[in-house]
Amino acid sequence: MENLKISSTNDEINIDNVPDGLKIVKIEGEKVKRLSDLSLHKEDLIFAKFSLESINNVPADQKFLREALWRTAIIYFIKCFGNGVRFKLQFKTIYKNEPKEAQISFEYFKKLRNKHLIHDENSYSQCKVGAILNNGNKSHKVEKIVCISAIAGTLEQNAYNSLFLLINKALDWIAVQFDENCKKLTLELEGESYKNLISRDSLSYSVPTIEEIGCERKL
């Protein structure tokens, strides 16, 4: 996987740093869908990794920002293993050769995301409600109703290290899968005539509209 310089003209996508490239043609099929999903998983994992690493640049007293980056890293990592329009990454496939501690860590972050960060279900968030009573010498007995909220902290060094290793392993697996799928697609396309290939539609991109926000995307 490599980074290419991209530009666009009238929604048509151009790659500027492939010297002999003439035209980017649109290709379709199951292998293309797989490649697209892998690329989007990579983007989410890189975002998770960048969020995680950015915590180290935030002073310890800025706890809100550090916590925001920590939660973002967890959410974007676990997102890749959840249901959606793209295929989901499988723990058993990516981490099959890793020690059992990897699964323990993965399950921890999955439950943390599902039961605490996204859905408020477990005891990691609690609010205790009480009434402050006076000494009984007033005409009223209740001075104030109070709510005491407690949110469990999960950002600590061992958890940080575990998430970092899980993200890197997933990125390594995606890189291998991406290259293998590119080779297969290349072989298929090389079997076609140049005339048929060059006559294909150009690859294009349309900026999403507000009406599309609730709709599943198409490849």
- pLDDT tens for 196-219 read 999 998 888 788 889 988 888 776
pLDDT attached to residue 38: 97
Q: Is the pLDDT of residue 2 over 60?
A: no
Percentage of the residues of the chain whose pLDDT score is greater than 70? 91
127 in helix, strand or coil? Answer: strand
Closest CA to 82 of 110, 46, 117: 110
Q: Is the pLDDT of residue 183 over 70?
A: yes
Mean pLDDT across the chain, nearest whole number? 92
pLDDT attached to residue 3: 62
Return the domain boundaries, the chain: 6-122+154-212
Q: What are phi and psi of 198, to 5 degrees?
A: -70, -20
pLDDT band at 143 (very low <50, low <70, confident <90, very high): very high
Which residue intervals of 55-156 are DSSP H helices?
Answer: 63-79, 91-94, 100-112
Please give the structure tokens belonging to residue 72.
């973002």
Q: What is the pLDDT of residues 146-163, one digit of tens each?
A: 999 999 999 999 999 999
Q: Is the pLDDT of residue 21 over 60?
A: yes
Over range 137-148, report the average pLDDT. 97
Residue with tokens 């706890």: 63
Alpha carbon distance 152, 169 (integer Å): 28
Q: What is the pTM assigned to this prediction?
A: 0.88
